[in-house]
Structure 1
Amino acid sequence: MPSAPAPPTDPAALFRHSLRLLLDKDIPGWVALWDEDGIMEFPFAAEGLPRRLDGREAVAAYMRDYPDHIDLHDFPRVEIHRTTDPRVLVVEMRSAGRIVATGAPFQMDYVAVVTVEDGRFTRYRDYWSPATAPEGSLDFAGDAR
């Protein structure tokens, strides 16, 4: 049986690949795109949620139950902006889906600053607003709280 192709190493292609994995609910595949020491930050995190995750294992714990809480259907808007640093992207995007527990629609806008080195996420600053988060959408953070 042929092995799966390696993830892309170009930062924009890797980011788009990561979105496909989230839509496929392949959280282990998504986490595998992270550097062992990668850092995920949420500068505007809601009270009681982590502002920073240090390392792939912390990211995995945070995302482990995500598909059980948010059923993503689409990323209807994804704008990837390259910066003067070829490792760094600024991404504007919108996600759409539903809250699993209630069936209520889920839609969220994000701006992310993403650093990719050697084909892995090394830093991901996720600027989303908890004030606009639909009810029930913040219940997935599990072990990372």
Structure 2
Amino acid sequence: MPNDRKNWNQRLPEFLIEAETLLAKSEECLTHLQLINDDRDAIDCMLSTLLKLANKADALALEAISEFSLHIHGLLSNAQSHVELHEQALGALKDCFTLMAWQLELVDHTTGQLSLDSSEQTSLIEAFAFQVGQSPGQTLPASRPLGLVPYSQKQA
């Protein structure tokens, strides 16, 4: 359902502030995980903030941000019970958060569009999936999956 343009324009600035707050909270959790890589509370906090961010972005039809958040959430959710989040996995996760912060700044305030291709998102999702021993395709949202090539193939 398309957003009512007037209502959408009023809600976008509020969303951006809240999204930045949620992302900052996720980054704080990440910093904590760099000290204690199996801290369940920090992982749960990060999962919660990623899901909130995805839902809020989805409510404004900001698909790129919503889907990216859901990919990260899915991989992190599956990883937490199978593997410790080692330094390389946390580094890949930090790269995802850095891109997401940059994307939030680039959302067009008039149209709500993010005029970027999804290749960098795809690459970062693949890298994080590789670091936690998962296939990135396992957690794709049903709406519009990113075209993924296994990270291990890129390394060859």
TM-score normalised to structure 1 length: 0.40
**Higher RCO (CA 8 Å, separation ≥ 6 residues):** 1
Task: Tell which structure's C-alpha radius of gyration is larger.
Answer: 2
Q: Going by fraction, where is strand more abundant, 1 or 2?
A: 1
Which structure shows the higher helix fraction?
Answer: 2
Per the normalisation by structure 2, the TM-score is 0.38
